[in-house]
Structure 1
């Protein structure tokens, strides 16, 4: 698919700021491109924002008490602890829900609570708080339900909890349900819980609404630790950071503002973690703790944690994180790795079927893909939807099941998925999510109607359906130096909302290409500019096709500079990201 290359054109006094802060002007430009500061900021304000971006610490996190209902919710929980009442945490079966549950149960136990946790079974219970979980809690003598990473759309279930004599505190980060009134205004519909802690509330003045569910849970526990004045509370808070960091990356949240600090500090903690479960999982995945970064969480550890909730029970992953037994941790970690291997095989099969269905029908003409795979394992719908989105660069839903159909959607940046679902809400028995992802339930007979109506209300233009690569700097490869690359490390952790820098140069020549790898998916070469300057380069992908199409021709490349260390020697190298 042809992608559009766009060079960022944001302005600032790059040279002046660089001199003040002892940064290369290229680094300042990269920071400006990430909207850390604006051209209109006065120098003192700009410098302060940049320093926070580069050196933000735990002390720079916002006061949890600024979040709406934080005080009310903690008071409800403290009352339950004081009265020795039973508390039930209801989590979710994905990585964010698992980590949220881990943070809450660890924190509440530290505060002396009589607390248990349940994570819904994806197939039997579906997403979030449901009637059976509420009734189970009542039968178990539970007095207070606390949700994490869910609950914001569970109004009926919370009413049932109240009818049965239980209280409920919702902690969540998903979009608040809403409806449009007859006069075109938006009416938000939060659940009638005793407290609703969610930075997306319209009446919430908390400075940052990008926290994941585990981030909200972390804030609640930190606030309660402060209120209870527990011993070594700063150290106890830091013990929870690694879980918040894993969830933030794994749930693909923007790595900006507080999230950037949580992830950076959480990774530091993860690098020296003593948690038996995390140690065992890293070992099973062939990783050294000290090398774990956002990539390893997103593409190695995270999928294993998610696999437990997809093909088995997410409580298996939670048990791994909570156990003190090294032996049990190793057994559970091995199970997660095995489950993930099965998940990969099943995903490949489902994706092949989905692609065939799109290519052989008029689905390909739709701006929003709705692919119905009745026999597909329900837990794989979101992954396959994500792969379809990547392949066709358009929003995609994958639906499964035969009676009550359930599905997951994955979106592109220009399409707010949850808002669009609200426009056809009467099709569903249940739905929820946020701009980039959503889950739905609907009767099988309404699948066709859903596809038709979600496309009828779609306003995506051809330009919005064209993938776009934003180039940070059109920079000659001859400008690359070790000290520049080392300064670029200050921009990490990179991920959604804080992307890895992208550079570009035109009129390049490929010299001495060599193909490597069992699957011939690596090409190493020399890259030569118009002035004859040469630098080592590497391409990952179909190496034979790269050599056929690029060798002997003048090409333009987008690239990322790095230092290649081999046998103790450092060499400058560029990783070619795309070419034309």
Structure 2
């Protein structure tokens, strides 16, 4: 059954013809930038021509100079530094940046990455105890630590130096109607989300925070900040993989990082690219988000994230090839488990009376906990509402959530603190653990507190430009490359056309998942089109019944058939 969607057109105003003339772009491209709130000359120039020297100084990060100073002294005196990272893309890349960066200065350093099943997210007391037994003098966190007050207190009580680098939301409590930050006991905390941090752009990932720390450390030790540029590709990879906003600093960093990644000297990354049958020179943000990144994530989901970390670290081509193949195989297994989990989740919704809930809390006791977040994301796409997927864990129940615009998961979890053993995350994604007996109460409270309206729960399709297919040209489609990289905060443009006729409808693809067709416009000109939206057989039936007056949401591309370039329309929604 096709879901009712609300199609609306952006109506933001500007002199698109003048902007197009001034910057040498089509007014359609100018309109798309305006829809992303790129308005002033400074913003347009940064968007189109941004360079790395436009990034803010890393010294603006609170405590970054203090943290670098401590590390410089520890390196000089040969003290053992324990980096505690995380098992996702951002955690692996930030761990690598700190490990390699400190090692390059001669530091006595090693990395511990929590086991997703045994340890859970972030620093815990067992990891602190292990660091003490290893003779560590200093604990340095990355992509975690800001919410680990108890574990880091244990470290301080045992005389360890503690440095936290993180980018997650700062835990808080309410006092007299005001929010008070709850910070861990640490010698330095580098996190742009701290309210008194002067760093102007708050939406950087953990790997970018780690990179900035290494830049400052290199600067203070005389190695030179420029030497840290080797880690730009890692920071950019993590920015895409952690689904950060591709705006401002992140956009510039990712553009530069993709250039560097496409000529990377990393043996491990070259092996991963080859194992996925991709070519250097053609890697785009899409490939990180949906091909390469999931391979790094699969390591931490189904095995150990140390494999992904070792892939980045290795200098041996044979080892790199073996590790890359292992990660690809793990990702293939992860895909199979995910599909099974999605089927089970949808059955729960339909059989347990959850379909009317505004916040879906789905308990799948046998689901592998590492893929709960992926399943939550896919269910969110289908039902367009916040989703938590919970599963049995070593101690109680663990879960991951994915949200929609207008619903902050982190803030809503704060209202359920008494039901949770542990929680953390962002407005759009979060994780938590609790006792099994609290699951039903958790579901009820989230829904009782939810202020989302039925209108909020209706999928919204925001159309950038209602553009007839007749307006398309190869030159215009090639021009859209200036808008890349696409991702969160800078989505691929959305176009729409109407009153189209459909011909030659057929299902194609290895798994018979796509519908290919020919579209005919009012001028009787025809275009090749392919549809990826939903169930192929259901779509084929619908299109056969509505051949003569179809409206579509689409994105154009150039495809080459038997050596001949031709315009192809990718249909994302239709009615």
TM-score (norm 2): 0.96
C-alpha displacement of 1:558: 0.9
Q: Work out whether residues 246 and 263 of structure 1, in 8 Å CA contact, stay in contact via their aligned partners in 2.
A: yes
C-alpha displacement of 1:257: 0.8
Q: 2:382 and 2:209 mapped to 1: Cα distance?
A: 33
Quote the residue 2:340 is aligned against: 349
Q: 1:352 and 1:539 mapped to 2: Cα distance?
A: 22
- Is the partner of 1:112 in helix, strand or coil? coil
Quote the residue 1:496 is aligned against: 488
1:480 aligns with 2:472: yes
**Within 5 Å, which residues of 2 pair with 1:14-413?**
14-37=16-39, 46-181=40-175, 183-230=176-223, 233-234=225-226, 236-401=227-392, 403-413=395-405
Q: 1:371 and 1:435 mapped to 2: Cα distance?
A: 19
The range that moved more, 430-439 or 281-290, is 281-290
C-alpha displacement of 1:565: 2.3
1:467 aligns with 2:459: yes
Q: Deviations over 1:228-282 (max 9, x none)?
A: 2316x52x32221111111111111111111111111111111111211111111
Q: Work out whether residues 246 and 297 of structure 1, in 8 Å CA contact, stay in contact via their aligned partners in 2.
A: yes
C-alpha displacement of 1:514: 4.2
C-alpha displacement of 1:351: 2.1
C-alpha displacement of 1:346: 1.8
1:563 aligned residue (558, 564, 568): 558
C-alpha displacement of 1:573: 2.3
Quote the residue 1:43 is aligned against: none
Q: 1:380 and 1:536 mapped to 2: Cα distance?
A: 36
C-alpha displacement of 1:543: 4.4
C-alpha displacement of 1:463: 1.0
Q: Work out whether residues 17 and 47 of structure 1, in 8 Å CA contact, stay in contact via their aligned partners in 2.
A: no
C-alpha displacement of 1:520: 3.0
TM-score (norm 1): 0.95
- Is the partner of 1:291 in helix, strand or coil? coil
Q: 2:197 and 2:191 mapped to 1: Cα distance?
A: 8
C-alpha displacement of 1:205: 2.0
Listed as ranges, the gaps of 5+ residues in structure 2 are none
Q: Work out whether residues 21 and 47 of structure 1, in 8 Å CA contact, stay in contact via their aligned partners in 2.
A: no
Q: Deviations over 1:85-136 (max 9, x none)?
A: 1111000011110011011111111122111100001111111000011111
Quote the residue 1:418 is aligned against: 410
- Is the partner of 1:289 in helix, strand or coil? coil
Q: 2:166 and 2:435 mapped to 1: Cα distance?
A: 27
Q: 1:205 and 1:389 mapped to 2: Cα distance?
A: 35
Q: 1:87 and 1:163 mapped to 2: Cα distance?
A: 17
Q: Work out whether residues 406 and 441 of structure 1, in 8 Å CA contact, stay in contact via their aligned partners in 2.
A: yes
The range that moved more, 236-245 or 1-10, is 236-245
C-alpha displacement of 1:321: 0.7
C-alpha displacement of 1:325: 0.6
- Is the partner of 2:338 in helix, strand or coil? helix
Q: 2:207 and 2:548 mapped to 1: Cα distance?
A: 50
- Matched residue count: 569
Q: 1:262 and 1:168 mapped to 2: Cα distance?
A: 29
C-alpha displacement of 1:327: 0.7
The range that moved more, 558-567 or 412-421, is 558-567
Listed as ranges, the gaps of 5+ residues in structure 1 are 38-45
Quote the residue 1:576 is aligned against: 571
Q: Deviations over 1:441-467 (max 9, x none)?
A: 111211111111111111111111111
Q: 1:55 and 1:229 mapped to 2: Cα distance?
A: 31
C-alpha displacement of 1:519: 3.0
- Is the partner of 2:441 in helix, strand or coil? helix
1:446 aligns with 2:438: yes
Q: 2:145 and 2:435 mapped to 1: Cα distance?
A: 23
1:516 aligns with 2:508: yes
Q: Work out whether residues 255 and 485 of structure 2, in 8 Å CA contact, stay in contact via their aligned partners in 1.
A: yes
C-alpha displacement of 1:334: 1.2
RMSD: 1.5
1:506 aligns with 2:498: yes
Q: Work out whether residues 69 and 220 of structure 2, in 8 Å CA contact, stay in contact via their aligned partners in 1.
A: no
Q: Which runs of 4+ in 1 moved over 4 A?
A: 541-544
Q: Work out whether residues 248 and 263 of structure 1, in 8 Å CA contact, stay in contact via their aligned partners in 2.
A: yes
- Is the partner of 1:506 in helix, strand or coil? strand
Q: Aligned in 2, Cα 1:342/1:519: closer, same or farther, shift over 3 Å?
A: closer
Quote the residue 1:40 is aligned against: none
C-alpha displacement of 1:544: 4.4
